[in-house]
Structure 1
């Protein structure tokens, strides 16, 4: 591990549980207080799993144990040789003064008890709860605005902002942040993860936030060539009052993709473009810099 101020980089040596042919940088991100927000690259196993992929992570630093820990959300039905079954990633110092390093090799039998990993967290997201306790309060509106403006340039950086919002105790079900996370995964072609966040946003959101989640669900389904489900999601978005925000590059790009499908979405697009979103306190949606 090496750091530059709040920025942290981690490199895995050749070999290890992922059998890397050469040393590779696998961890990058920044600290926000005692919480690390970033991205980790891991190998995966499973019939339909991507062999190696990068995942956003939120890790909590434990000062007493000098360790970083948190759960990594792999693809559905996938496992990683680098993680235990509970998918809890723990990076910690092995002796006083050492840098944090991942456990890439199994310890000798006589060392196992001394180097045993911390017990798995209880159900309910212990890492997230710990993050909520340690993370400094954020300006939710400003953080959402920054995340939305970053989506078009850097979905990973955008997701870090949305994670900051969701880590706040009172904002753990913030529909705009959940939708932002869904869009960030969608832009990175991680559709199962995108749909999970968007489904959660639809279940907890109302009004404009719920409509926004339905619109992006339609985009994911269209990309997956599930036209019937895309049409239904777009219809629901319009029924909830969705309209395209002015000057939103991502939304305009998606509307053009719908148009490219020919007459399939023609009536719905005509209805959407006939509306004008009212400017106000509501977020202007993913990809917009307007709160």
Structure 2
């Protein structure tokens, strides 16, 4: 693996090499990166600004700047604002950034180094940041029930919390009977009656995870998280959904977030099969699982102290 220092040296060489001057390519639109989700990238002259459009693993405010810099040849030199994890680490830090523009796939590959003892879910272990053009949603994608996969079609015309609760209870009964399609239909009906219920979106997303329908799961779970950011199970199920798309870094970042929020499992419990299969050999996965077990023990201790 190429070291960050070696890559930065290569950047200086590329920037100085003849024939590599910035050719005025329009580099803008929707991009994505692990730990960030989708971002909006805009180039003004030789200046680049990348702004958050999704909370991502760092719970960023919409429109907050993530990357700012200028091109020198095909090399972007600027700064990157990241959130940090670790004892005695500040919540955010602005780091120097060197990134390379690829005219082939229009991606930006950069390196940044957080302070000693701190990590950022926005960066890979070697400090890698990879910004790639985000694919446009496929309008032809359908759900298993024959409708469009987007939840935008589920609109609450007139809120009826009582009827929404009845639909939610019926969906849970169908879920217990493993009637997945019936449960999905009732969860969706509950949402059309009250789209402020994070519980309905959470339950719908969880069912889609069980059915290995990752895009639908992510859409529903992100809606749940937008309504309630403090539920650790939402981040955990999002990790299960992203691992089904093969996105290990995003899944790990979400798992880290779930455990930080207090996600807890009994020692004898089994993790999601796909998480175990694709992340089980990772040291961080073992550490996070151990912490989740400890969270369970601490919660059990508190229950014993307060009584039934």
TM-score of the two chains, using structure 2 as the length reference? 0.42
